[in-house]
């Protein structure tokens, strides 16, 4: 309850500040529209924005899911196999030296204007944080547990399954929390480079037609959806980690 | 449990170029409690790790021999100072973790019996975070018994418990490990005097055998000969380098 009140309070404060800025500076609406205008654009184009938002969110969710699965598989393989560590790890680090944004045009060239290049962008942008967080967790299993397992003559894969993976769940959770914030960035970049749908596309379109109020409306919807996604993933992760150990 | 063997440890140990102890001989007698008492840093745990097969980083010059000539691997269980319970598993699953880790079938009835023996029947479905320190060590004790190994290595397993719980755990362990070859590492003279069939004090000059009280283990903590032995052990610890 207090939390909800605080969020409402902060929102009202920011909107007032914004309104004040517009009134005091007298900026024209095509540079910075007032919150009221943006609100009207939002209500007036609700169906349009909802459609584009649903496309973007679909890209984000699928990218998040695939990136998480791929990251988990990679982290486990790296942790399990020293050979994989020697071969794959430098490649992964090298791939991070390449800005993911630079790949967007290539992906569009290869995969066209549909959902896939955006999904791949979201996937690529979260793949490294998820892999790296989970891998670190897998490599930091308390030594006493591993000693115990060795004396019990455990098999490597059983140690992975029964000890290392469960012990690394909190680390995976922090990777996923980051991923929830990064994934929309990937999808939007993908849409900017080439799309016919999605909030990123809508923002470019509105900007091009000098409908700055619509552009801000789309931007705000994107921010709110990203926050909601982050909050949901955060809640889910906290719940799973809490359930796991109590 | 007549198949409990005697262990003979011989040799010196070095870790990363630093000598931990000079050559020494340690016999861990079959079906008895051998207590190794010493201050921190004299290499007690190093010996235990070598016996447990966890000595990858230790340069051991010497040998570990077993009276029946069979290999040591798979016949040892280890109970450490930290209980090493898996926080995501409940009491039952923690006790059968050894079976799960080897991919063996789990003998659920046996596990249930052990849970009852260590007095945790009412806590069977609790996870470690919901248990007290003493209860957690009881789970570790049941897990050790579940392994059914003839040799048990105890690395200060009761040192983190308060005095009352520690005394209870010593009694419980003495009863449940009867017939097994036990090597107990401790820095508590009282614990050695209560539990040791054979007692060694370890210091920088090597191992020194101390005659234990004549009564059988587990001994009452307030018997005059136990207290005398405790005093003698503490004197040895303090007055030797």
Q: Which two structure tokens, joined as six digits, stand for A34?
A: 């007032």
- Residue B96 included in any domain: yes
Tokens of A52: 């584009």
Distances in Å between the Cα of B168 and the Cα atoms of A30, B33, B117 are 79, 17, 13
Judge if A20 and A8 occupy the same domain.
Answer: yes
Q: Which residues of A are less than 8 Å from B86 in CB distance?
A: 145, 162-163, 166-167
Same domain for A233 and A185, yes or no, is yes
pLDDT band with cut points at 50, 70 and 90 for residue A112: confident
A74 and A181 in a common domain? yes
Q: Are residues B176 and B71 in the same domain?
A: yes
Do A108 and A62 lie in one domain? The reply is yes
Residue A24 lies in domain: 1-32
The answer to whether residues B192 and B212 belong to one domain is: yes
Contact criterion met (CB below 8 Å) for A194 and A205: no
Q: Which of the residues A148, A150, A157 would you substitute to probe the B interface, choosing the one with the greatest number of B C-beta atoms within 10 Å? A: A148
Residues B141 and B161 in one domain: no
Cβ–Cβ contact A90 with B under 8 A: no
Task: Print the domain residue range for B202.
Answer: 20-75+149-241
Q: Are A70 and A128 in contact (CB under 8 A)?
A: no
State how many domains chain A has: 2
**Of A64-78, A224-238, B37-51, the least confident:** B37-51
CB-CB under 8 Å, A150 with B88: no
Predicted local distance difference test score (pLDDT) of residue A29:
85
Cβ distance B129 to A142 less than 8 Å, yes or no, reads: no
Inform me whether the C-beta atom of residue B163 falls under 8 Å from chain A C-beta atoms.
no
Which of these ranges, A86-95, A107-116, A179-188, B214-223, has the smallest mean pLDDT?
A86-95
- Residue A168 pLDDT > 50, yes or no? yes
In terms of C-beta distances under 8 Å and separation of at least 24 residues, what long-range contacts does A216-219 make, across chains too?
Answer: A216/A33, A216/A38, A216/A41, A217/A38, A217/A39, A217/A41, A217/A42, A217/A45, A217/A49, A218/A49, A218/A52, A218/A53
DSSP B14: E
B86 part of contact set with chain A, CB < 8 Å: yes
B5 located within any domain: no
Give the model's confidence band at A9: pLDDT under 50 very low, under 70 low, under 90 confident, else very high.
very high
Q: Which of A87-96, A104-113, B87-96, B201-210 has the highest mean pLDDT?
A: B87-96
Interface test with A, best of B46, B49, B84 (most A CBs within 10 A): B84
Q: Scan residues 154-213 of A and list those with Cβ closer than 8 Å to B.
A: 154-155, 158-159, 162-163, 166-167, 169
Does the structure show a pLDDT above 70 at A205?
A: yes
Return the pLDDT at B1: 44
* Same domain? A73 vs A18: no
Q: Which residues of A touch B77 (CB under 8 A)?
A: 151-152
Regarding whether A212 and A127 lie in a shared domain, the answer is: yes
Q: How many domains does chain B have?
A: 2
List helix spans (H) across chain B: 44-52, 91-95, 97-102, 108-117, 133-147, 163-176, 189-195, 224-239
Tell me the pairing of strands B33-38 and B198-203.
parallel
**CATH code of the domain containing B38:** 3.40.50.300
Q: What's the pLDDT score for residue A99?
A: 84
* CB within 8 Å: A245 and B130: no
Residue B118 within any structural domain of the chain: yes
Clarify whether residues A59 and A9 are in a common domain.
no
Query: Which string of DSSP letters, residue by residue, matches B19-42?
Result: EEEEEEEEEE-TTSEEEEEE-TTS
pLDDT per residue of chain B (241 residues) written in tens, 0 to 9:
447 899 999 999 999 999 999 999 999 999 999 999 998 888 999 999 999 999 999 999 999 999 888 888 889 999 988 999 999 999 999 999 999 999 999 999 999 999 999 999 999 999 999 999 999 999 999 999 999 999 999 999 998 888 988 999 999 999 999 999 999 999 999 999 999 999 999 988 889 999 999 998 889 989 999 999 999 999 998 887 6
Helix, strand, coil percentages for chain A (3-state, nearest 5): 85, 0, 15
- Residues B56 and B98 both lie in one domain: no
What is the SS3 assignment for A173?
A: helix
Same domain? For B57 and B124 the reply is no
Residues B61 and B153 in one domain: yes
The verdict on B78 touching A (C-beta cutoff 8 Å) is yes
Claim to verify: residue A7 and residue A124 sit in the same structural domain: no
CB contact under 8 A, B52 and A147: yes
pLDDT of residue B39: 87
A4: closest CA of chain B, how far (Å): 32
Pick from B14, B44, B56: which is nearest to B185 by CA?
A: B44
Q: CB-based contact (8 Å) between A42 and chain B?
A: no
A15 and A127 in a single domain? The answer is no
Q: In this predicted structure, which of A91-105, A149-163, B159-173, B202-216 has the lowest mean pLDDT?
A: A91-105
One domain for residues A192 and A240: yes
B147 touches chain A (CB under 8 A): yes
Residues in chain A closer than 8 A to B76 (CB atoms): 151
Chain position carrying tokens 């030594």: A143
Asked if residue B14 is part of any domain, the answer here is no
Q: Token pair of A223, please?
A: 């921010």
- A25 plus A46 within the same structural domain: no
Asked if residue A91 and residue A54 are part of one domain, the reply reads yes
pLDDT at A52 over 80: yes
CATH of the domain at A140: 1.10.3720.10
Q: Looking at the structure, tell me whether residues B162 and B214 fall in a common domain.
A: yes
């Amino acid at each position: 309850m207090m939390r909800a009140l605080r969020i409402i309070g902060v929102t009202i404060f920011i909107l007032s500040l914004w309104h004040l800025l517009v009134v005091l500076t007298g900026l024209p609406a095509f540079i910075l529209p007032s919150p009221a205008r943006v609100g009207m654009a939002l209500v007036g184009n609700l169906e349009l924005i909802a459609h584009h938002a649903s496309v973007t969110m679909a890209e984000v969710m699928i990218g998040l899911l695939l990136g998480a699965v791929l990251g988990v598989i990679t982290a486990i393989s790296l942790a399990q196999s020293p050979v994989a560590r020697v071969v794959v790890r430098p490649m992964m680090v090298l791939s991070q030296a390449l800005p993911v944004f630079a790949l967007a045009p290539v992906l569009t060239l290869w995969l066209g204007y549909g959902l896939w290049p955006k999904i791949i962008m979201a996937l690529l942008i979260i793949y490294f944080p998820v892999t790296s967080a989970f891998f670190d967790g897998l490599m930091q299993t308390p030594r006493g547990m591993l000693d115990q397992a060795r004396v019990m003559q455990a098999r490597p894969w059983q140690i992975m399954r029964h000890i290392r993976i469960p012990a690394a769940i909190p680390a995976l959770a922090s990777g996923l929390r980051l991923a929830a914030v990064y994934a929309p960035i990937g999808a939007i970049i993908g849409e900017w480079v080439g799309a016919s749908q999605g909030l990123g596309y809508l923002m470019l379109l509105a900007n091009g037609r000098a409908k700055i109020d619509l552009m801000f409306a789309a931007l705000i919807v994107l921010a709110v959806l990203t926050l909601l996604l982050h909050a949901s993933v955060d809640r889910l992760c906290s719940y799973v980690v809490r359930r796991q150990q109590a | 449990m007549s198949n409990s063997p005697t262990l003979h440890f011989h040799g010196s140990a070095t870790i990363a170029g630093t000598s931990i102890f000079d050559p020494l001989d340690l016999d861990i007698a079959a079906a008895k409690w051998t207590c190794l008492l010493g201050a921190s840093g004299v290499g007690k745990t190093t010996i235990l790790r070598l016996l447990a097969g966890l000595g990858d980083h230790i340069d051991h010059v010497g040998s570990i021999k077993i009276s029946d000539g069979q290999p040591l691997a798979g016949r040892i269980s280890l109970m450490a100072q930290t209980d090493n319970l898996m926080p995501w598993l409940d009491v039952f699953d923690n006790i059968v973790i050894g079976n799960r880790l080897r991919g063996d079938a789990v003998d659920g009835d046996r596990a249930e019996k052990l849970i009852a023996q260590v007095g945790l029947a009412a806590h069977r479905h609790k996870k470690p975070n919901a248990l007290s320190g003493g209860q957690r060590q009881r789970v570790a004790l049941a897990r050790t018994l579940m392994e059914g190994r003839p040799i048990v290595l105890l690395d200060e397993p009761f040192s983190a418990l308060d005095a009352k719980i520690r005394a209870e755990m010593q009694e419980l362990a003495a009863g449940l490990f009867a017939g097994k070859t036990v090597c107990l590492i401790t820095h508590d003279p009282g614990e050695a005097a209560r539990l040791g069939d054979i007692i060694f004090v370890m210091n920088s000059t090597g191992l020194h055998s101390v005659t234990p009280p004549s009564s059988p283990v587990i001994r009452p903590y307030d018997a005059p000969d136990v207290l005398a032995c405790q005093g003698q052990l503490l004197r040895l610890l303090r007055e030797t380098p």
